[in-house]
Structure 1
Amino acid sequence: MKPKVYLETTVVSYFTAKPSRDIITAAHQQITQEWWENRRAAFDLFISELVEQEASAGDEDAVQRRLKMLEGLPALQVNQAAVDLARILVNENALPEKATGDSLHVAIATMNAMDYLMTWNMRHLANATIRNAITVICRAHGYEPPVICTPEELLEV
């Protein structure tokens, strides 16, 4: 059985965006493309209704590129248990109130027993301090969260 990866919206955005002139963003885009081309087959990939919703916002050309990438990927449902866990993560200060969408990504991935949550969101997700807080809170409530990581971290699995 392949490890299960939940693709958070930033991964989709970096993959489909026009090449950036910012050196860090350009590197993230290149790493994402390398992972997609060379490593994705080693994993079962999932998205969610939330990823579809977020990918559908913004510039119409960019929206079309993002949605094309998502075609054929199973979309996990947002259920009440995920909404409740997302609220717990915010209420217990793992994530700030303004990051409720990010907390919902974590909760959806957790409730669906994903092995990994892949993201380029360093501020609210792929951040050592926040990752630890998410893990502690999820486990305190009886849940095992996914490993939150960037595409770079799964290049050599």
Structure 2
Amino acid sequence: MIVAAHQQITREWWETALPCCQAFVSPIVIQEAGRGDPNAATRRLGSIANFPVLEVTEDVNTLAGEYFARTRIPEKARADTFHLSLATTHGMDYLISWNFTHILGRAVRRVVQDINTIHGLETPVICTPEEAMEIRYDNQ
């Protein structure tokens, strides 16, 4: 039931908020979108095909390593540190996710903010699609 609600909210975000934004993806998002059911993967990849792709640079790798060392994100979810470092390094305003465990968790966000402050980096707003829609409507 929760997954269905998240899917509905995500569809609404894609239809109403996304057209008002400049969206980017990373090579990691592309890899993740290509997993699972082949038909669903094809649809997901098609929906992001025209988005600019953020480059994984040495700065991205270094920052992801620092996030990994200071958070409790497990090795199997290490890619999540790259989502965070890509958004930060490339100056994204928002990082949109449903990953409450490794991206949206308060402890992870606090560590990311602390590290970014030390390095003089702006931390993107890390939020769900639902929260992003609220922000959009609040700013209208």
How does the TM-score come out when normalised to structure 2? 0.89
Question: What is the CA distance between 1:57 and its match in structure 2?
Answer: 2.1
Q: Gaps (5+ residues) in structure 2?
A: none
Question: What is the CA distance between 1:142 and its match in structure 2?
Answer: 2.6
Q: How does 1:6-17 map to 2 (within 5 A)?
A: none
Distance 1:136 1:95 in 2: 16
AA matched with 2:55 = Q
AA matched with 1:25 = V
Does residue 52 (structure 1) correspond to residue 30 (structure 2)? The answer is: yes
State the partner residue of 2:6: 28
Runs of 4 or more consecutive aligned structure 1 residues displaced over 2 Å after TM superposition: 93-99
Q: Which moved more, 1:99-108 or 1:138-147?
A: 138-147
Does residue 115 (structure 1) correspond to residue 97 (structure 2)? The answer is: no
- Match of 2:5, SS? helix
Distance 1:78 1:69 in 2: 21
Question: What is the CA distance between 1:130 and its match in structure 2?
Answer: 1.6
How many percent of aligned residue pairs carry the same amino acid?
A: 43
Using a 3 Å threshold, how does the CA distance of structure 1 residues 43 and 94 change in structure 2: closer, same or farther?
A: farther
State the partner residue of 1:137: 115
Structure having the larger proportion of residues in helix = 2
State the partner residue of 1:6: none
Does residue 88 (structure 1) correspond to residue 73 (structure 2)? The answer is: no
Structure having the larger proportion of residues in strand = 1
Q: Gaps (5+ residues) in structure 1?
A: 1-22
- Check the 8 A contact 1:94/1:133 in 2, yes or no: no
State the partner residue of 1:64: 42
- Check the 8 A contact 2:70/2:111 in 1, yes or no: no
- Check the 8 A contact 2:34/2:45 in 1, yes or no: yes
Distance 1:28 1:42 in 2: 20
Q: Which moved more, 1:145-154 or 1:95-104?
A: 95-104
- Check the 8 A contact 2:71/2:108 in 1, yes or no: no
Provide the aligned C-alpha RMSD in A. Answer: 1.3
* Bigger RCO (CA 8 Å, 6+ sep): 1
Paired residues, what number?
135
